[in-house]
């Protein structure tokens, strides 16, 4: 258990760094301020970590995960970070849920070559120069029940081989571009039962240049009528921008029920996340082969005076800095 730390340091590479372990451990109730050019928490080749109820701000990346699987990040408040709130690289079967990510200068949550992850019930807002949730070369991820608002694009799948991702039951609102952006390398993506509100992409609130992507039963606030038979579905399909000439054949006349409120919230001082609704995703049919790591007898922790925490395996050489 790593808990109740209050660390402020703008000179260190990172504030908490953990690597090369399969030990079950938790980081919770910490306040981390600084490491502006590096991550606040950096996890490298770890499994079974829970990062819960932490506040991380003024870092380049609040939480960075690399080559790490089966970890959980929940109920964290991440704000005023210069690049990302959370990034995953080559990491699989992780859960990111019930976090508040706001006021990032870059992207809210970003995935690179990461598969079978769950992103649910997060509030991601005011990523002014970036994308709320961005996937790069990542497949079979579930993006559900999130509120994503106030950036360039809401959810973007770009670059190579983004396949079979599920984007459903999200509120995607007030972005200066498209609510969902699928480039030519996005394929077999399901975009279903999302609420698209006030996104200013033209001529529609989503774009699709990919292959075999499906838009169904979404609410588009710029396309709510006619509904002559009163079945709650607009009689005319909603046209999706892009070379595929895709359509939502069943656009809803009213918003789909969500766990988040669509009311605009000022997150400059406070952020509230509604955690009353949970989402269960069946991952029993999916698996990822990952390299095994040797479990440790214990964690070796070095705490620098008013600086940072380093956690390494017992057999590794300790960092020489701040060993007091």
* Element containing residue 41 per DSSP (H, E): strand 39-46
Q: 166 - beta bridge partners?
A: 142, 190
275 vs 105, residue with greater confidence: 105
| pTM for the full predicted model | 0.81
| 8 Å CB contact between 87 and 112 | yes
Selection from 223, 168, 180, 169 nearest residue 205 by Cα? 180
Structure tokens, 238? 């909603």
| Residue 285: partners with Cβ closer than 8 Å, 6 or more residues away | none
Instruction: Give the integer Cα–Cα distance in Å for 141 and 139.
Output: 6
Q: State residue 129's pLDDT score.
A: 82
Mean pLDDT for the chain?
A: 84
Is the pLDDT reported for residue 12 higher than 80? no
Rounded Cα–Cα distance for residues 189 and 172 (Å): 16
Q: What would the mean pLDDT of 9-30 be, rounded to a whole number?
A: 93
Tokens of 200: 């200013």
Closest CA to 268 of 146, 130, 129, 102: 102
CA-atom Rg of the chain in angstroms: 20
Per-residue pLDDT at 128 = 79
Q: Average pLDDT, stretch 3-8?
A: 96
Domain boundaries, the chain: 1-85+294-324, 106-278
Least confident of 147-156, 239-248, 313-322: 313-322
The strand pairing partners of 182, in sequence order, are 157, 208
Helices marked H in 189-251 = none
pLDDT number for residue 310:
56
């Amino acid at each position: 258990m790593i808990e109740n730390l209050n660390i402020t340091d703008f000179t260190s590479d990172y504030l908490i760094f953990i690597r090369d372990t399969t030990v079950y451990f938790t980081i919770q109730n910490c306040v981390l301020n600084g490491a502006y050019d590096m991550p606040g928490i950096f996890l490298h080749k770890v499994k079974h970590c829970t990062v819960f109820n932490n506040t991380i701000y003024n870092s380049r990346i609040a939480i960075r995960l690399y080559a790490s699987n089966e970890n959980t990040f929940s109920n964290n408040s991440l704000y005023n970070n210069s690049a990302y709130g959370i990034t995953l690289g080559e990491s699989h079967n992780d859960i990111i849920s019930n976090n508040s990510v706001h006021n990032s200068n870059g992207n809210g949550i970003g995935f690179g070559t990461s598969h079978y992850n769950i992103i649910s019930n997060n509030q991601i807002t005011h990523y002014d120069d970036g994308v709320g949730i961005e996937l790069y070369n990542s497949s079979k991820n579930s993006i559900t029940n999130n509120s994503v608002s106030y950036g360039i694009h809401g959810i973007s799948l770009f670059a190579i081989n983004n396949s079979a991702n599920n984007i459903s039951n999200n509120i995607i609102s007030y972005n200066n571009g498209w609510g969902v952006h699928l480039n030519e390398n996005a394929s077999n993506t399901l975009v279903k039962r999302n609420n698209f509100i006030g996104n200013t992409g033209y001529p529609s609130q989503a774009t699709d240049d990919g292959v075999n992507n499906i838009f169904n039963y979404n609410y588009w606030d710029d396309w709510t009528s006619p509904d002559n038979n009163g079945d709650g579905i607009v009689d005319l399909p909603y046209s999706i921008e892009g070379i595929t000439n895709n359509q939502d054949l069943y656009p809803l006349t009213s918003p789909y029920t969500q766990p988040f409120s669509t009311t605009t919230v000022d997150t400059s001082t406070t952020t509230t996340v509604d955690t009353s609704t949970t989402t269960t995703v069946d991952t029993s049919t999916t698996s990822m082969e990952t390299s095994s790591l040797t479990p440790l007898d214990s964690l070796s922790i070095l705490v620098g005076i008013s600086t940072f925490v380093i956690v390494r395996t017992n057999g590794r050489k300790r960092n020489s800095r701040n060993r007091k």
